[in-house]
Structure 1
């Protein structure tokens, strides 16, 4: 590529302190660095240390800027990301993040060459600083276009027509095409738990009003209508970044002994016979709900791998009773329960995996559909998980497990029924076929790079 005709941009990248944000921001940083731009990746030391090592050819183009997270009453010492916290303590992390302002200003003073900041929803204090330093802001939303469109315009976010929790349980009038994108009542109340005194929608609104470009993790091939709605309600450039699928080389990596043992176990199973269960790095279901889910998994009578994450250290409930007593013995001939971390992409890529019971995090959905695996949709936790579940259910690439709209309760029988329908029943055949065809969009590296190239050009034009 001929850089002589192009100005090298110096870009600061500033994600929110959650791994689901940190990783996609890093992926975009690597791409921009490959295109010859200088990146300053700003986060806290612990989050930076969790990132994959940079290839030698990029190590001089990406500089890590560690900011130390200030102590805040209520935030346990040493915690630097949402995955280390139960949801009701996330507001303290937001308070600590807001206190990064002083260090961020120091960084900008010492780096006058920075002319763009790619930021997240959280730092509502950033716009006046950017103006002071003559820096352009680019909002990168890790959500898909449908979730972003559901939030509405800045005036809708300020209250608009939605006053009560019930108002969020209907499809908003501005989403003027056939869809079922709305929250269930229990999802609204669980999200309220992670709100600070400055709400997420206030933060988001400030960032949207002050940025030059809104970049969204999606593509026209998957949700053209929602992208059209976003352009209309924001009246500024909406740039799809593509889906940022993980690179297949991370699957082919000759891995650890853990993977060798897992692979051996999976090799004994028939093709597409086994389902994978993982509820993300942040979900902490109440014990009774975890037990109900376990009984449903057991009643499905199908082979499975279930990754059970240990609760955050600050949670009181013991990790031992998350799984019902006797469960592992009863299913030992066909099920595997793994505690802690597991190589999700490698498991999903194995030919014996036929479906994914997921909490509906956008990254997990992208991984699954990128490998053509249908979804058993079980949105638990906060954020836009419920909206992602409705979108995937509506696109007929997955089936949502039925739950009580008001309190979120569900039965093990409905869990088993949903698993069987997605995995083996004849009425799930369409879902399985649709998921396989999605591979052409979700797993398509060329398509992803085309979008990233267009995003890079948009930044160069600013």
Structure 2
């Protein structure tokens, strides 16, 4: 097409913050290139998005579809962060009902492309008759997708039991020792409903024009190459989308000022930061083991504890961490409730490591700043495979958990924290993580990938306009 001709692109993410934000970042880049963006989600999710820069607001429209009420989904819930994993199937059922308003919107809006998530398995059936091109944007990395395999594996009965996911699949054609643990698959099964996540992924991969992933060839060359073979269609990495640090003027946040003052009093790279994301739910027993391990490490730390990090039915902060814990560690530990400015904390010179649930966004934030990882798989979605991938890349150490039930010991937690943070054997880990800034923190590289992705869409577009 004529490169001056601008496209109308609809963005349709899954209802999870870890999906909504990367979709917004890509929207902003495409809008910067002059394309018209319709960002589609539910009212509550759209209201939570950060304000757009003034120069982009004319090119991005937010389209709100109210989420249909489903029996079993608590009223007012619109995202995965608001419910335990067992209720996510109801959210998927509600999301599937957005097919009706989305179809009506597409019929009259002259959309050229829909960039969509893994969830809307019904979307190819809606878009293809309307002559609209589809790009599946995976916010997961290439290693995770390669492990899941081609659409035939996702839609077939090759892997019927959770145990089938605990071995390396036969189609992996490069050195790879990454697989799920049994407890991770059992846990993930709780968030799937009649149409499994694998079926959803298989159908959207089959039905799209190309797949784009939040990764880059500098980090996963073999995996990206394999995906093109498995999918028999283009796989276009759009880079790691490293987030930008808030501007200096933005630092008048009182909570941050108090945290910064505390961090300023600590030595360089002496503090480890602990955060398990917005959706990981641990049992009280596991939370206590984690707390005792943090305590036994005898190192300064910041721990973000979410009040929803509870087993359903329990209430109150006293159930989350052991009685007396905060008093015992008050000289060297800072416990924050519910939310913390993660990127600012990780960027502070006193922070020397990150105990993470292994969500891909959190990993990108840490490696952008060269922070070594203490890998504690959150046991959902891609997190287990990410833990093994980063352990294998020697930028972190995984806290081993029992294959069957995910249990672990506080002694092992303390040991891994100390190895990553201060022990001599952790020096290569610290050096490798620091070196990763060249890839994960490289804004120029990130923009190059986004440019190539945008060019691919622009040059592919004529087939979308023949209707």
Aligned partner of 1:212 among 209, 212, 231: 209
The answer to whether the aligner puts 1:234 opposite 2:240 as a matched pair is no
Runs of 5+ unmatched residues, structure 2: 461-467
Aligned partner of 1:301 among 298, 304, 312: 298
Aligned partner of 2:307 among 306, 310, 315: 310
Aligned partner of 2:74 among 73, 76, 79: 76
Matches of 2:101 and 2:129 in 1, distance apart?
A: 16
Q: Which moved more, 1:391-400 or 1:176-185?
A: 176-185
The answer on whether the counterparts of 2:245 and 2:344 sit within 8 Å (CA) in structure 1 is no
Displacement of 1:285 in angstroms is 0.6
Matches of 1:25 and 1:242 in 2, distance apart?
A: 13
The answer on whether the counterparts of 1:86 and 1:312 sit within 8 Å (CA) in structure 2 is no
The answer on whether the counterparts of 2:310 and 2:320 sit within 8 Å (CA) in structure 1 is no
Matches of 1:231 and 1:94 in 2, distance apart?
A: 28
The answer to whether the aligner puts 1:142 opposite 2:139 as a matched pair is yes
Matches of 1:313 and 1:421 in 2, distance apart?
A: 29
Match of 1:154 in 2: 151
Runs of 5+ unmatched residues, structure 1: none
Give the TM-score of the pair, scaled to structure 2: 0.96
Aligned partner of 1:292 among 289, 294, 308: 289
User: Structure 1 residues 158, 250: closer, same or farther in 2, change over 3 A?
Assistant: farther
Match of 1:355 in 2: 353
The answer to whether the aligner puts 1:190 opposite 2:179 as a matched pair is no
Matches within 5 A, 1:313-462: 315-320=312-317, 321-462=319-460
Matches of 1:12 and 1:23 in 2, distance apart?
A: 15
Displacement of 1:149 in angstroms is 0.5
Give the TM-score of the pair, scaled to structure 1: 0.97
Displacement of 1:198 in angstroms is 0.7
The answer to whether the aligner puts 1:121 opposite 2:121 as a matched pair is no
Matches within 5 A, 1:256-295: 256-295=253-292
Matches of 1:160 and 1:79 in 2, distance apart?
A: 33
Matches of 1:381 and 1:17 in 2, distance apart?
A: 19
Q: Which moved more, 1:273-282 or 1:98-107?
A: 98-107
The answer on whether the counterparts of 1:76 and 1:314 sit within 8 Å (CA) in structure 2 is no
Aligned length: 459
The answer to whether the aligner puts 1:64 opposite 2:62 as a matched pair is yes
Displacement of 1:394 in angstroms is 0.3
Aligned partner of 2:42 among 37, 41, 44: 44
Displacement of 1:10 in angstroms is 0.2
Matches of 1:179 and 1:216 in 2, distance apart?
A: 19
- Output one character per residue of 1:187-242: Cα deviation in whole Å (capped at 9) or x when no partner: 00000000011100111111000100100000000010101110111110000010
SS of the aligned residue for 1:253 comes to helix
- Output one character per residue of 1:64-96: Cα deviation in whole Å (capped at 9) or x when no partner: 000000000000000000000000000000000
Matches of 1:390 and 1:251 in 2, distance apart?
A: 36
Displacement of 1:106 in angstroms is 1.8
Match of 1:110 in 2: 108
Q: Which moved more, 1:78-87 or 1:309-318?
A: 309-318
SS of the aligned residue for 1:90 comes to helix
Matches of 1:133 and 1:435 in 2, distance apart?
A: 47
Matches of 1:381 and 1:5 in 2, distance apart?
A: 44
Displacement of 1:315 in angstroms is 3.5
Displacement of 1:247 in angstroms is 1.3
Q: Which moved more, 1:154-163 or 1:288-297?
A: 154-163
Matches of 1:212 and 1:20 in 2, distance apart?
A: 24
The answer on whether the counterparts of 1:284 and 1:381 sit within 8 Å (CA) in structure 2 is no
The answer on whether the counterparts of 1:370 and 1:438 sit within 8 Å (CA) in structure 2 is yes
Displacement of 1:319 in angstroms is 3.1
Matches of 2:347 and 2:162 in 1, distance apart?
A: 39
Matches of 2:125 and 2:2 in 1, distance apart?
A: 33
Matches of 1:314 and 1:117 in 2, distance apart?
A: 38
Q: Which moved more, 1:250-259 or 1:378-387?
A: 250-259
